[in-house]
Amino acid sequence: MESLEGDDAPAIVSAVDEAGRQLRAPWAASVAGILFSILFTVGLVLLRDQPLLRASDAEILQIFDDGRDLPAVIGGLYLAPFAGIMFLWFVAVIRDQLGEREDRFFATVFFGSGILFVGLWFMAAAIASAPIVGVRYLHFAPPSAATITLVASMAYAVLFAFATRVAAVFLIATATIGLRGGVFPRWLGLGAYVLAVVLFLVVAVWEWIILVLPAWVAIASILILRRERARRVRPPGGRG
């Protein structure tokens, strides 16, 4: 038995190493970026449009009795966490691809703003979901309309006043290291600069402007995926 385990050890180590290489491959960043874009957008819509935000005290009781709080549960407790995880994966793979080419200053801003954005996103989703968690899982009494308004205001401030600005910083840092490292085409990097300025200025006028971040990440992910597929698929007789 010990001999078999010893003979199998190199194969196991090789399989683990190959799995690690696959998880750090460019296509992994693309998949993570696309999943983040979808999960973030759907989760935000479900949280922002939940019926509790427009309900009176009597209507709040009816919403919980009818189970109409379920979309917000899905958005806040399921989609939001996985969106954050996918975003961190996207950041990690992009940074791994840059390797020694990365500019340490902008790489630090890129990494730090990515983590800070996820933290603020988690905080906003947790705050927005707290009243529902209290009723559904802790068996508390349904909150009043005034409490819902206060909680929504806190989540709004965290996400749209703070996380949006951090997203703008992330776009600037990502575009800079992406252009310097040759990861992104020039038009995509310049577009990120423009979108970052829009995020800094327009969020006070139109809150949904925050969706430019997942939209940009989705475009960048698709471009990386297409480039990786083109690199792997060579025409007959072409050189590798």
Across residues 182-200, what is the average pLDDT?
89
pTM exceeds 0.75: yes
C-alpha pair distances (Å), 233 with each of 22, 32, 97, 144, 225:
17, 22, 20, 59, 12
Structure tokens at 66: 């009818």
> Residue 7 — pLDDT band, cuts 50, 70, 90?
low
Across residues 176-201, what is the average pLDDT?
87
106 versus 173: which is more confidently predicted?
A: 173
Q: What pLDDT is attached to residue 5?
A: 54
DSSP state at residue 67? T
Is pLDDT of 19 > 50? Answer: no
Sign of the dihedral defined by the CA atoms of residues 203, 208, 209, 214, in that order: positive
Q: What pLDDT is attached to residue 12?
A: 47
Residue type (1 letter), 61: L
